């Protein structure tokens, strides 16, 4: 790792405001995934009861998760989604449940709908994580600005239903950079203060596209915004290693480690313990001048 990463990259990232408290990026953070859908590609159906949900959140927090990301809509390739009412009926009670039992936890609501984003924050969520970058709901940016919460801006080409049907780019890195330039500007115009960017690994991208973005991940530091990466047990692991999601933890950890060495600030993962260990090891490495 070069001196830019060790000495200046993390120092350029300003803290974000979580309802009056500052979340700093002195070290990379880990976001634990809680999918409450029956059909998510890896953990679908595992967390449907109150006891299972609380047990999993407690486990992730005890292992070192800094943020809990809750999603009630499957966004795996080919998924057709659910109605707004169906999403709300699943997501909002779980946010309330987790806020009640884990008072100081930071909760991210994974939704692309502005009405649900508003209800989620009013129910205890601290961050909005939008896979569509505000494209699916034109009211999202103004809603987030009114709520005054951090917003995770992800890149996706197409929709979950069609995104993996032969995605094409002239230059994937340049197109994602342009997308962030344009969308960050619109967020600023809307009044959103705290923005996190996510290149959207696996969302409308081939294996080659994904690895190209990973190879150039450090260049996204141009925006001086926190960078979130999500590789956890995805096809960019499985297709290279010829494995399945349930056997993709080792490959995921390798990708997380590479991302950390290229400046990732947040790792979004199913497996918190292993991600925290990767953060500790890379952080130790960065202490060496």
Catalytic residue among 76, 157, 234, 262: 234
- CA-CA distances (angstroms) from residue 149 to 57, 81, 196, 246? 22, 25, 11, 34
**What is the rounded distance in angstroms from the CA atom of residue 70 to the CA atom of residue 126?**
11
Q: Is 233 a catalytic residue?
A: no
Strand, helix or coil for residue 283: helix
Is 260:279 a contact under the CB 8 Å cutoff?
A: yes
Catalytic residue among 90, 205, 233, 268: 268
- CA-CA distances (angstroms) from residue 67 to 33, 62, 98, 269? 9, 12, 12, 10
Burial of 152 (0-12, 13-18, 19+ CB in 10 A): buried
Is 34:71 a contact under the CB 8 Å cutoff?
A: yes
Just list the catalytic residues: 234, 268
């Amino acid at each position: 790792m070069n001196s830019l990463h060790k000495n200046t990259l993390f120092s350029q990232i300003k803290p974000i405001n979580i309802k009056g408290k500052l979340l700093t990026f002195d070290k990379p953070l880990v976001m634990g995934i809680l999918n409450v859908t029956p059909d998510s590609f890896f953990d679908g159906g595992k967390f449907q009861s109150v006891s299972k949900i609380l047990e999993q959140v407690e486990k992730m927090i005890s292992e070192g998760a800094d943020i809990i990301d809750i999603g009630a809509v499957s966004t795996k390739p080919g998924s057709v989604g659910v109605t707004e009412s169906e999403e709300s009926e699943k997501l909002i009670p779980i946010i309330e449940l987790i806020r009640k039992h884990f008072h100081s936890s930071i909760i991210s609501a994974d939704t692309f709908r502005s009405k649900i984003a508003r209800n989620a924050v009013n129910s205890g969520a601290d961050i909005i994580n939008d896979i569509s970058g505000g494209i699916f709901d034109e009211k999202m940016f103004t809603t987030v600005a009114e709520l005054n919460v951090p917003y995770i801006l992800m890149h996706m080409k197409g929709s979950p239903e069609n995104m993996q049907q032969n995605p094409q780019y002239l230059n994937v890195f340049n197109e994602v950079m342009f997308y962030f330039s344009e969308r960050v500007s619109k967020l600023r115009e809307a009044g959103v203060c705290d923005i996190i960017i996510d290149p959207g690994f696996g969302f409308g991208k081939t294996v080659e596209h994904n690895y190209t973005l990973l190879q150039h991940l450090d260049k996204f530091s141009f925006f001086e915004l926190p960078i979130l990466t999500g590789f956890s047990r995805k096809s960019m692991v499985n297709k290279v290693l010829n494995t399945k999601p349930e056997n993709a933890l080792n490959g995921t950890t390798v990708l997380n480690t590479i991302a950390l060495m290229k400046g990732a600030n947040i790792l979004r993962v199913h497996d918190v313990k292993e991600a925290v260990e990767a953060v500790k090891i890379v952080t130790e490495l960065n202490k060496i001048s």
